[in-house]
Amino acid sequence: MDKVRLGIIGIGNMGSGHCYTLLKGDVPDMVISAVADLKESRRQWAKETLPEDVKIYTTGEELIESGTCDAVLIATPHYDHPRYAIMAFEHGLHVMCEKPAGVYTLQVREMNEAAEKADVVFAMMFNQRTNHVYRKMHELVHSGQYGAIKRVNWIITDWYRTQAYYNSGGWRATWDGEGGGVLLNQCPHNLDLIQWICGMPSKVQAFCHVGKWHDIEVEDDVTAYLEYPNGATGVFITTTGDAPGTNRFEVTLEKAKLVCENNKLMVYELEVSEREFCFTTTEGFAKPQGKWVEVETDGANPQHAGVLRAFAGRILRGTPLVAEGKEGINGLTLSNAMHLSSWLQSPVTLPLNEELFLEKLNELRANSKKKTNVIEVTFTTEGSYGSQRS
């Protein structure tokens, strides 16, 4: 094929943003061939906005079975991500899945197993992995030049959302519709990045506050403590209730501290490893000397377009993806672990007890109430959707 024919399942906030990206020609190897959405208003938007040759369907099933696509991008409510992905695999279609991979890891594990059996490309829309500062952090940590990780801190509280946002969809901020709150909607990127850069912890203790700042039934304020296999510790703090909020990601290693804030990466480089200094100096109050350095990066931050270009490249030429689809389970494991820890009011160890998590989730789903006071809110304008528009 010369170009990948992409079908987009779900053309709400994120799905319509991907449509604009493709319409602008930001992904030269890919064209929109079909879209699907259960809402008639979104199908009408497609008729008015997309080229006449783009097929429009009501359901994802119809789109997948239509034969009009080589690949699908799934941008539906979270519970449907694995279901549509598995169906697409069975029809020989390549799959790009929006975050999160699903709501619970048992569901995503089934999706990953189906992907393994299918001879297709499977990718996750982890667009923040294209950000130059996070790519550089990944490079520096994994190079080993600064030694092992000792401490991880990420305060990511600039995800501010209003009550109108939560009232914009009956599925939003409900256990049965969305499966969670800030952890599952806004933070999949952050949870993916923290595990991509720092690895997976071995123990999690979290405090997830339900409806603390909004009239919702899911969490909108979270503080989590992490322990890593090598003894390192971490804290992850997030909310949709702070204004203006903070986004500061620190990784302390044996010979440096990385600080990512305001789209800049600073490194405090020690002249000698702290571990060596601690046990060789004869002074009780001395500190290892060092200096701050602003790290040079390539400045590139292609975001969603970059992920889609890599997806098309893998399909057409076998080139690398930004994020393999099977990696979506990692950040979701962290989210599930934080929820389970909060529900049990105790630490949880990884590997996660996936059956217990699903049992507790289903209890909440059974009492979940779909909102009826749904209002129309505009989330996306042409060319403006970005990393924090979920």
pLDDT category, 369, cuts 50, 70, 90? confident
- Quick: pLDDT tens for 235-288: 999 999 999 999 999 999 999 999 999 999 999 999 999 999 999 999 999 999
- Quick: pLDDT tens for 98-132: 999 999 999 999 999 999 999 999 999 999 999 99
Indicate whether 382 pLDDT > 70. no
CA–CA dist 141, 228 (Å, integer): 15
Name residue 348's amino acid: V
Q: What is the mean pLDDT of residues 123-150?
A: 98
pLDDT of residue 379: 44
Name the average pLDDT for the chain. 94
Sign of CA dihedral 196, 197, 198, 204: negative
The better pLDDT of the pair 233, 386 is held by 233
pLDDT category, 371, cuts 50, 70, 90? low
pLDDT of residue 168: 85
Indicate whether 385 pLDDT > 90. no
- How far is Cα of residue 168 from the mean position of the Cα atoms in its chain? 21
Indicate whether 387 pLDDT > 80. no
pLDDT category, 383, cuts 50, 70, 90? very low
Q: What is the mean pLDDT of residues 31-42?
A: 97
- Above pLDDT 90, what percent of the chain? 93
Q: What angle do CA 249, 219, 376 make, to 5 degrees?
A: 100
Tokens, residue 21? 């990206």
Indicate whether 232 pLDDT > 70. yes
pLDDT category, 327, cuts 50, 70, 90? very high
CATH of domain 129-299+331-366: 3.30.360.10
Query: Where are the chain's structural domains?
Result: 4-128+302-323, 129-299+331-366
Identify which of 306, 338, 305 has the alpha carbon closest to the alpha carbon of residue 19. 305
pLDDT of residue 374: 56
Indicate whether 389 pLDDT > 70. no
CATH of domain 4-128+302-323: 3.40.50.720
- 8 A C-beta contact, residue 28 and residue 4: no
Indicate whether 376 pLDDT > 80. no
Neighbours of 390 (CB within 10 A): 19
- 8 A C-beta contact, residue 208 and residue 339: yes
pLDDT of residue 171: 82
